[in-house]
A = this chain, B = another copy of it.
Amino acid sequence: MTKTRSSRPIPTLDDVARKAGVSTATVSRCINTPDRVVEATRAKVTKAIESLGYTPNFGARVMAAKRTFTIGAIVPTMENSIFARGLQAFQEQLHSHGYTLLVSSSAYDPKIEEEQVRALVARGADGLMLIGYDRDAAIYKYLERQSVPALIAWAYAPQTPRPAIGFDNRAAMAMIADAVLAQGHRHIAVISAHVKGNDRAAERVEGIRASLHTRDLQPEHIIETSYDVDAGAQAMTELMHKTPRPTAVICGNDVLAAGALRAARDMGLEVPKDVSLTGFDDMDLAQVVTPALTTMHVPHREMGRIGADMLIAMVEGAAPPAPVQLPTTLQRRASLGPAPTRTPV
């Protein structure tokens, strides 16, 4: 049950020191600040370390040094690749600076997210990357109290002074809605992720509303659902039975749009001839489906890379940086076409 059941016990700093005939302080220095130790001593210690197969105990190290070179990230889901690409870049950049990234998932559950925050902090994370702003104030208070800096990613709210890197979800989605309107669509529906506790999703819906509002329109239907293909398909099926039938469906992301596309096909509807569809994120998926999705390109890798630099600076004592806004660009592809001339039945 315990780690010491091993037949051959795990070597400690003390074992190394004894074997090399030096103090534990010297061994510690050999490992952490080798140039403060004279060559000959270092050689003895290195030899002892190797022959013993010694590796430092991290827990002890953390406790004594108060630094772990570990960064934690909590994402709402690992199930689809929304966050995967940005996270990969985040990890690479962190790794090149000597930090290790540990990731965990909250399954879109605020309770679990809070647990994960505590778990990561408790395990010595030097800093945290969190998705979006929306969470219990107690979590922010806890982090502050523990002096663990946190970076918000995938969102950008200039009015909130918290360090963040992301993009303007509202404006980006408004741009999509504008494009839909420009194609003559007037019966517009939305498939969104659940907006509660998900500020990105909420802002995207707001962006749509704002855009449509300029023409005195509003979304005729908004379905909130979970972020998976089947959910997107089911929502689409539902929408296509409404009267009048929407001529364009704006989806909260590419996964939902891909599901919607499948549902349309299964119902014998042609995209975009019968109904137009848009996504968000510009995942690989978007170019692989037929027709390819009109969607919003988000610079995920850049977000990960810059986010890593920001968080490292924070962890290393820099003043909290100002929020960084990244540009998004509309990708026009075949899934968005002109509105049918006749009113659909």
Contact = CB atoms under 8 A, between A and B. Distances in A.
Contacts of A102: 102-104, 123
A6 B70 CA distance: 19
8 contacts: A2-B67, A4-B147, A56-B122, A60-B63, A80-B81, A123-B123, A229-B287, A262-B287
Contacts of A285: 285, 288
Copies of this protein in the assembly total: 2
Contacts of A342: none
Nearest to A102: B102
A116 B100 contact: yes
Interface in A261-300: 261-262, 265, 284-285, 287-290
4 nearest CB pairs, A to B:
A58-B122, A59-B62, A6-B147, A229-B284
A136 B195 CA distance: 46
A316 interface: yes
A79 B58 CA distance: 28
A323 interface: no
A187 to B, nearest CB: 25
Contacts of A182: none
Interface stretch (A16-24, A37-45, A87-95): A87-95
Contacts of A58: 59, 122-124
B84 A88 contact: no
A288 B116 CA distance: 33
Contact of A104 (B60, B101, B112, B146): B101
Contact of A290 (B1, B112, B289): B289
Contacts of A63: 57, 59-60, 63
Given A78-B84, A122-B57, A123-B68, A145 B6 contact: yes
Contacts of A2: 66-67
A103 B100 contact: no
Contacts of A77: 88
A286 to B, nearest CB: 10
A172 B158 CA distance: 52
Contacts of A3: 66, 146-148
A217 interface: no
Given A2-B67, A122-B56, A288-B258, A88 B95 contact: no
Contact of A288 (B95, B112, B115, B259): B259
Contacts of A59: 58-60, 62-63, 123-124
B88 A104 contact: no
A29 to B, nearest CB: 19
A1 B61 CA distance: 16
Nearest to A229: B284
A178 interface: no
A1 B312 CA distance: 11
A88 B66 contact: no
A80 B84 contact: yes
A125 to B, nearest CB: 10
A218 interface: no
A150 to B, nearest CB: 14
A228 interface: yes
